[in-house]
Amino acid sequence: MDGQVPGVQPEDLPENLPGEGTALLDVREHNEWAAGHAPGAVHIPMSEIPSRLGDVPETDQLYVVCRSGGRSAKVTAYLNANGWDAVNVERGMNGWAASGRPLTGEDPDSEPFVL
């Protein structure tokens, strides 16, 4: 299935993501999201995607991210089969953070990190 899922490396994502015509969908669990996520991302855990399709951003380009790229690849394939133009973020939030992209968390007293 991986060969059929479009993917992009974190370094090749648009600088201003999310921005005009783009959105970032984070499909990790709630505790992972709280520890650290991309600013402006939309959070819908993988297990909630089928019941929350109405919450998935309608945009020209939807990027899907998890921790390392496995869950997001499955969600990307599912969304593409249901009419979205989704792209998997390869290496996930691990790659996002390693490439120096910004992180924000929900605890103001601790540095955000990828869980």
Amino acid at the residue 74: K
State the catalytic residue, choosing from 5, 25, 35, 66.
66
Q: How far does CA 100 lie from the centroid of its chain?
A: 16
- Give the Å distances, CA to CA, from 58 to 31, 43, 45, 83, 114: 26, 14, 17, 10, 26
Whether 105 is catalytic is: no
**7 within 8 A of 90, measured Cβ to Cβ:** yes
Local structure of residue 37 (DSSP, 8 states): B
Amino acid at the residue 16: N
42/23 Cα distance (integer angstroms): 8
Active-site residues, by number, are 66
